Amino acid sequence: MTLVELMPFSVLVPLIAAPLCALLPGRILPWLLALASAIASTVIAALVLPQAIDGPLSYAFGNWPPPIGIEYRVDSANAFVALLVSGLAVLATLWGRKSVNEELDQPQGVFYSLFLLALAGLMGITLTGDAFNVFVFLEISSLSTYALIAHGPDRRALLASFRYLIMGTVGATFFLIGVGFLYIMTGTLNMADLAERLPEVADTRTVHVALAFIIVGMGLKLAMLPLHLWLPNAYTYAPNFISVFIAGTATKVALYVMIRMIYTVFGADYSYAVLPLTAVFLALALAGMFIGAWTAIFQANLKRMLAWSSISQVGYMLLGLALGTVAGLTATFLHLFNHALIKAALFMAVGTVAWRVGSVRIEAFRGLGRQMPWTMTAFALAGLSIIGIPTTAGFISKWYLILAAMDAGQPWLVALIVISSLMAVVYVWRVIEAAWFQSRPADAETVREAPLSLLVPLWLMVGLNFWFGLDTRLPVAGATAAAEALFGPTGVTP
Amino acid sequence: MAALGHFNYWIVVILMMIGFYCVIARGNMVKKMIGLNIFQTSVFILFISAGKIIGGSTPILRKGVELYSNPLPHVLILTAIVVGVATTAVGLALAMRIKEAYGTIEDDLIHDDEPAAEDEGNR
Amino acid sequence: MREHGILRIVARLLIPLIMLFGLYIQFHGDYSPGGGFQAGVVFASAWILFVLIYGLDDALKVIPERAMFVLMLLGVLLYAAVGIAGVLLGGHFLNFYPLLPGKHAAQQFGIITVELGVGVTVATVMMLIFTQFARRRQLLAEVNEEVD
């Protein structure tokens, strides 16, 4: 079996394991199956990445040659995102067992089955080369995510999930409308084929509208600023394990789809010329960076604080996209990768405290620095990474973003990036101050450090933040290759 | 007359706006789901009407027929309908659970700004 | 609604016909319009009609909830198994040609098996969704009675 034939199995393994998982009794067996399939998926994605950097791999389902059949077309951009999604799923699952046991009394077969479906959906979106297939996988992952969020222990999880469902479905349907217009104009759904046939009809109103619908639809899914309303509650009230997983992956995959549609299907020159994308993305990115960070500062619920911080970080990614250069896109991909690591580590740390203390409010963190030193140190280190202190992963992506801004001749952006990073200092510092510089309330019971099964994955995640802060070969090479693959062999900048 | 020639698109647009309005303006969650369904249905009609070829026959291979309608949009929309059914089922199930937890499915009767102490339950 | 004579007689006539129609769509799906999705929904609608007339308890004696759940997953696995068989016999996922020696026979076999998996899953999923909602209302009514 060649590597190309192995490639679709990074989607198929979790997809097929999901129904099996629902049949398994108890708690430990479903978890083991979920972990095993996530690992299998990661291994395949890791094998595919180096090959995909050399050139795109193509797999035709049922041997129906594209553009008639459904094709998986993997170049460095999606191989990079696929590795990120599946790798994060492994670490989240490792961490999640104790947390899920705490939050769910019932047998967990169905819960992990939904998780595997969400993973398969996200991997499918990433690998597929077919625009309609993107919609199907998008809905697979979204529907299972709604159900997973509704598993949250608070009754407000239900409301959060319902509102996410309404907005998410509207977003996905907008994407479908866009794809429908493209299909009406070109008669094909295969992305590579679309890219070939679009230039003939590029100057029609229909194609312009299709681009707008696709961008708005994906903007909803990736929580671009005015469309972000579903995100804070969804992240806050989801089970902690799910918060870790979707905070690291869901918005990133949506961003990838948006980039793929803009760059590969429509072509960067065309998209940026037809719609004022530079201005729109720039405005929304800056608004997101500041409103997100500003709101995060005032949150008493730390999961909600991290959710607002996510909105602010999505702003950085859009900023790279707004620049419309290879350097900017590289910074976007780098931040997509690094932010997933950072946010997963932060949510894991908060989740570990929640597991021990039973609350995620900032008052519950008072004096925890001495009682749970390992957990809180991990939080502080991941916090350094989200601020962007040198030697952390967060620094690397912000550095590349600053370089890209200078390169594009917009030095004023550098100041704004630095200012919004300083706002991140404030919200991270609030937690550190509560944990170390306030004493534990007299009536609070003393808590012990969390067990190793939570600490080890957490520290692995934090370790990755520093590893990729010092040894930047994998993310930088991956992001550069991804950006270059999307700009195409010519590498012309708009 | 040119505008009437595209009457299928007019139907799509009208249905889409009815559905979208319903999703945004209605507080009742079941009505929101109905609106969402109408909204999705309009997109289904967009796809399916695009598959019809004037003078084309049903796409079943047989003798004496040269021109067939395009069957692919139907297949795509079949998938999208299944997705829509699943979305409706999940949405209504959530509405049911919300009714059990809050005693109402009217959005404006549910107050999100509950006392901070309730966050304690959120682990 | 058991006591309504007309409903009962009509349902008794209709249910087998609807089921038969479902099976017709299922097994003619390979060369005429039809297939697993439609057949599953039609088949499930017969069962739902049965529930409406005779009540959920009797309907669950026909097919227990656990059986529906397992069948739903087995349907998906049947689909996956055909896909994997194509890979194991040297083709791509969901490639039917390697399954049997004849080209047409292989396509027909593959499509019918895959559609069977789809049909079973869709039918049981529709039945399960209906059962869950109906069950929930029963539970809710019981809880309300206790409160009163």
What tokens were used for A289? 């960076």
Nearest-CA distance B57 → chain A (Å) = 19
Q: Nearest residue of C to residue B88 by CA position?
A: C129
Q: Which of A22, A23, A60 sits opposite C92 (nearest CB)?
A: A60
Contact present, A113 and A31 (Cβ < 8 Å):
no
**In this predicted structure, what is the pLDDT of residue B99?**
87
- Band (pLDDT 50/70/90 cuts) for residue A115 is very high
Say whether pLDDT at B90 is over 90.
yes
pLDDT tens digit string along A472-494? 888 888 888 888 888 865 444 43
Task: Give the best residue of B48, B58, B82, B94 to mutate against chain C (max C CB count within 10 A).
Answer: B82
Nearest-CA distance A153 → chain B (Å) = 6
Instruction: Provide the chain B residues 11-50 that lie in CB contact (below 8 A) with chain A.
Output: 20, 23, 29, 32, 36, 39-40, 43, 46-47, 50
The residue count for chain C: 148
Instruction: Provide the chain B residues 10-39 that lie in CB contact (below 8 A) with chain C.
Output: none
Start-end of H helices in C35-95: 36-54, 56-62, 65-88
Residues C73, A19: C-beta atoms closer than 8 Å: yes
Q: Mind listing the domains of chain B with CATH numbers?
A: 12-39+68-107 (1.10.287.3510)
Distance from the Cα of residue A474 to its chain's centroid: 18
User: Residue A421: which of A340, A334, A309, A320 has the closest Cα?
Assistant: A309
Would you call C83 an interface residue with chain A, using a CB distance cutoff of 8 Å?
Answer: yes
**In this predicted structure, what is the pLDDT of residue C146?**
65
CA A291 to CA A152: how far, in whole Å? 27
Q: Count of CB contacts below 8 A, A vs C?
A: 39
Tell me the torsion sign for CA atoms A239, B83, A189, C110. positive
When comparing pLDDT for A179 and A443, which is higher? A179
End-to-end, the C-alpha distance of chain C in Å comes to 26
pLDDT tens digit string along A116-163? 999 999 999 999 999 999 999 999 999 999 999 999 888 899 999 999
Would you call A362 an interface residue with chain B, using a CB distance cutoff of 8 Å?
Answer: no
Would you call C21 an interface residue with chain A, using a CB distance cutoff of 8 Å?
Answer: no
What torsion, rounded to 10 degrees, do the Cα atoms A335, A340, A346, A348 define? -170
- Residue A57 sits at φ, ψ, to 5 deg, of -105, 145
Bridge partner residues of A301 (DSSP):
A361
Residues C77, A19: C-beta atoms closer than 8 Å: yes
Chain A residues within 8 A of C86 when measuring between CB atoms = 62
Say whether pLDDT at B115 is over 60.
no
Contact present, A7 and A127 (Cβ < 8 Å):
yes
- Band (pLDDT 50/70/90 cuts) for residue B114 is low
Residues A162, B29: C-beta atoms closer than 8 Å: yes
Distance from the Cα of residue A422 to its chain's centroid: 23
**In this predicted structure, what is the pLDDT of residue C2?**
64
Bridge partner residues of B68 (DSSP):
B57
Contact present, A325 and A69 (Cβ < 8 Å):
no
Least confident of A415-419, B117-121, C135-139: B117-121
Q: Nearest residue of C to residue A62 by CA position?
A: C95
Would you call C70 an interface residue with chain A, using a CB distance cutoff of 8 Å?
Answer: yes
Q: Count of CB contacts below 8 A, A vs B?
A: 103
Mean pLDDT of chain A: 90
Chain C residues within 8 A of B78 when measuring between CB atoms = 37
Q: Which of A5, A8, A19 sits opposite C76 (nearest CB)?
A: A19
- Band (pLDDT 50/70/90 cuts) for residue A459 is very high
CA C135 to CA A296: how far, in whole Å? 42
Strands (E), A116-238: none
Would you call A143 an interface residue with chain B, using a CB distance cutoff of 8 Å?
Answer: yes
Strands A71-74 and A57-60, how do they pair? antiparallel
pLDDT tens digit string along B38-86? 999 999 999 998 888 888 888 887 888 888 888 889 889 999 999 999 9
Residue with tokens 């109408």: B38
Residues B60, C132: C-beta atoms closer than 8 Å: no
Start-end of H helices in A187-267: 191-201, 205-221, 231-237, 240-260
- Band (pLDDT 50/70/90 cuts) for residue B112 is low
**Helix and strand element counts for chain C (H, E):** 5, 0
CA A427 to CA A196: how far, in whole Å? 47
CA A382 to CA A476: how far, in whole Å? 20
CA A404 to CA B69: how far, in whole Å? 50
Q: Which residues of chain C fall below pLDDT 70?
A: 1-2, 143-144, 146-148
Start-end of H helices in A222-239: 231-237
User: Residue C23: which of C43, C2, C3, C47 has the closest Cα?
Assistant: C43
Sequence-separated (6 or more) residues with CB below 8 Å from residue A47: A3, A6
Nearest-CA distance A354 → chain B (Å) = 5
Using CA atoms, how far residue A76 sits from A134, A317, A478, B32, in Å, is: 18, 18, 7, 41
- Residue A361 sits at φ, ψ, to 5 deg, of -85, 155
Q: Nearest residue of C to residue B79 by CA position?
A: C37
Say whether pLDDT at B102 is over 70.
yes
CA C57 to CA C134: how far, in whole Å? 11
CA B39 to CA B36: how far, in whole Å? 5
Using CA atoms, how far residue C5 sits from C53, C54, C62, in Å, is: 10, 12, 22
pLDDT tens digit string along A12-68? 999 999 999 999 988 899 999 999 999 999 999 999 988 888 888 899 888 888 888
Sequence-separated (6 or more) residues with CB below 8 Å from residue C117: C36, C74, C75, C76, C77, C78, C79, C82
pLDDT tens digit string along A242-297? 999 999 899 999 999 999 999 989 988 888 888 888 899 999 999 999 999 999 99
**In this predicted structure, what is the pLDDT of residue C95?**
84
Report ipTM for this prediction: 0.91
User: Residue A349: which of A239, A452, A236, A454 has the closest Cα?
Assistant: A454
Q: Which of C32, C132, C133 sits opposite B60 (nearest CB)?
A: C32
CA A53 to CA A268: how far, in whole Å? 21
**In this predicted structure, what is the pLDDT of residue A492?**
43
Residues C92, A22: C-beta atoms closer than 8 Å: no
- Band (pLDDT 50/70/90 cuts) for residue A3 is confident
- Residue B57 sits at φ, ψ, to 5 deg, of -95, 175
What are the residue ranges spanned by the domains of chain C? 5-147
Share of chain A above pLDDT 70, in %: 98
**In this predicted structure, what is the pLDDT of residue B120?**
43
Residue with tokens 């129904």: A19
Share of chain A above pLDDT 90, in %: 63
* Contacting subunits of A (3+ beta carbon pairs below 8 A): B, C
When comparing pLDDT for A195 and A66, which is higher? A195
Contact present, C39 and C29 (Cβ < 8 Å):
yes
What torsion, rounded to 10 degrees, do the Cα atoms A38, A43, A49, A52 define? -100
Using CA atoms, how far residue A355 sits from A347, A456, B83, in Å, is: 12, 15, 35
Q: Which of C37, C129, C140 sits opposite B89 (nearest CB)?
A: C129
What are the residue ranges spanned by the domains of chain A? 277-494
**Structural element, H or E, at residue A59:** strand A57-60
Residues C33, B92: C-beta atoms closer than 8 Å: no
Q: Nearest residue of C to residue A59 by CA position?
A: C92
Residues A176, B43: C-beta atoms closer than 8 Å: yes
Least confident of A85-94, A239-248, A438-447: A438-447
